Chain A
């Protein structure tokens, strides 16, 4: 898949291009918010804002893990199926309360991520194939464990508080969403780990020659991605009151779209966690705006149009990014 790899830029230029690409998504997001706020009455109402953020929290978590994987030049196609499996696991252990529920479920996600990471790092298999196989396996496991039906969570143990509790008027998923990205930004911006991730993605051989623990870095990013997909599964179960083995189809591709829109290069070596956050919010906001537009009654777009608009949007964003990158490079 390495037909169009990143042009060999100097680090300073790469950083400049990175800023432009990251800010592009932010600029589009701000414009869309302004458009919505001016056009629709309740667009900035606390109800719309909080339910929008709570609904997009699980996609945000998955896209965050995907960002680190993609920065190493890899990909994780298994996240949607892992989230579905995790939601089933979370529902099954939900009678033990929220702490055990989160711990067990995230652990399951991390273990799956470690399997992916080991096969990629030490098995030297292509990430695309490894995680494609894991997609099938996790989906099969989810359906087997759940017996092909959704599994109700325990409503008395306090587990559902993970979906409904509010603090300062913000539901728990929003806090989890925010804390995850805060940690993501700190990890990427302030620790050697982030430089290792980008170095591995930029040029694996060079990273190895510099003495970086290439295998361990890869193992870690897939484990993180698995763990975050596990957490997304917890939110799925807590918000909908059931573990859903058939959910999460195509989430991996939406997450990849969000990461790309956020300015992270699929070839690795260049990326931005904040950019991914803007990407997730931007893609989610398109649906939100469409709902409001339908609500005005002037046009009536079926939900099927949303997919077409999302695809067209992805097309335009990547076109613009390539333009910018060409001008920068």
Chain B
């Protein structure tokens, strides 16, 4: 990995590596996004019929949960200065594997259907990490390999056919309610809490940001760069696997051609709107959650006011650029 150290160019010298989260700039960014979210909620509360009902809140949470879960892993990867394009394809893989397992007549079939597909995508995530750390692949190319091949794997496993199913025990992950609250919304919050805690308080979290800030310096300072990166890509794979299970549980079917399609873009957009720069070195996990909620609520608002989905895409694009532009202004 001597290449990376030599490659620390002018751009990297100019960037001030930040290790501690929570200084003023970070707060400003988080609150900027939070203020936008609050405005969106306020607008809907006043102008959208039946917005403040548990039904519509749960619909939004249910729809956003897979994106948030994937975006949590993406935040970690981007914090190290990487990117993970393979997450959508990995969702298709876990979605293709799970029905093959719980439809078998074996003991603990449902439990295995939760564990094995997620482990499999975790291993694929580690594969991404190995390409990046041991073989010096640029993250975008390393994960492009599985972006292309991953969906092919899912399609070959299922022969490209739709797998419909009905299995209440398995589908609890997508349809279950805990005290009336959708299970995947709670799962999403739990994952968010773990990731936020990890970045904020653990040594691993500081390593992560140090690597993204200046990899060569982090290496010299004794940070186990390769191990941290491996863990990050592995985590992103695991989380994509979980999101894939949720999506097929909601749909009561698994379609390898559709599960997770374009989700890598949605997750990257959420991270960017949330205020984590794609250059790495900083991570605002709360920001990512808020970013995903903003994009979800924006689409919901436009759709519920009769704006077609295609036009909503254009508005989303404008919001993404505007959000990144405002954050850039604040940084300089």
Chain B residue with Cβ nearest A137? B317
Known pairs A128-B278, A266-B138; A139 contacts B313 (CB<8 A):
yes
**Chain B min CB distance to A77 (Å):** 8
Q: Is A311 among interface residues, defined by CB-CB distance under 8 A?
A: yes
Interface residue? B6 (CB, 8 A): yes
Whether, in the assembled complex, A140 has its beta carbon less than 8 Å from a beta carbon of chain B, the answer is: yes
A148 at the interface (CB under 8 A from B): yes
Indicate if the CB atoms of A315 and B145 lie closer than 8 Å.
yes
B71-91 interface mask toward A, CB cutoff 8 Å, 1 = contact, 0 = none? 000000000111101000000
- CB neighbours (8 Å) of B136 from chain A are 4, 322, 326
Q: B147 touching A253 by the CB < 8 A rule?
A: yes
Of A18-26, A99-107, A274-282, A302-310, the segment with at least 4 beta carbons within 8 Å of chain B is A302-310
**Considering the chains assembled together, what is the distance between the CA atoms of A253 and B2 in angstroms?**
28
Pick from A28-36, A117-125, A163-171, A229-237 the stretch touching chain B.
Answer: A117-125
Shortest CB-to-CB span from A137 to chain B, Å, is 4
Residues of chain B within 8 A (CB-CB) of A125 are: 321, 324-325, 328
B310 lies within 8 A of A148 (CB): yes
Interface digits, A106-136 against B, CB 8 Å rule (1 contact, 0 not)? 0000000000000100011110111011111
Shortest Cβ distance from B316 into A: residue: A136
Contact of A2 among B141, B152, B279 (CB under 8 A): B279
Dominant secondary structure of chain B at its interface with chain A: helix
Residues of B within 8 A of A140 (CB): 310-314, 316-317
Q: How far is the CA of A257 from the CA of B141 in the complex (A)?
A: 8
Shortest distance in angstroms between B229's beta carbon and chain A's nearest beta carbon?
Answer: 8
Asked if A137 and B318 sit within 8 Å, CB to CB, the answer is: yes
Question: What string of 1s and 0s marks CB contacts (under 8 Å) between B108-145 and chain A?
Answer: 00000000000000000000000110011111110011
- Residues on B with C-beta less than 8 A from A192 are none
Main secondary structure, interface of A, reads helix
Q: How far does the alpha carbon of A326 sit from the alpha carbon of B4 in the complex, in Å?
A: 12
Known: A144-B314, A253-B85. A7 touches B7 (CB 8 A): yes
Give me 4 other A-B pairs in contact (C-beta within 8 A), A132-B320, A326-B3 excluded. Answer: A2-B7, A5-B4, A8-B7, A139-B310
In the A-B complex, the 9 residue pairs with the closest CB atoms? A311-B149, A5-B7, A307-B152, A140-B313, A143-B310, A137-B317, A304-B155, A308-B152, A140-B314
Q: Can you list 10 contacts pairing A with B, beta carbon distance less than 8 Å?
A: A4-B7, A5-B3, A5-B9, A8-B6, A123-B325, A130-B321, A144-B310, A305-B152, A311-B147, A322-B137
B binding-site residues for A, Cβ under 8 Å: 1-4, 6-12, 80-83, 85, 131-132, 135-141, 144-153, 155-156, 159-160, 211, 215, 265, 268-269, 272, 277-280, 308-314, 316-318, 320-321, 324-325, 328
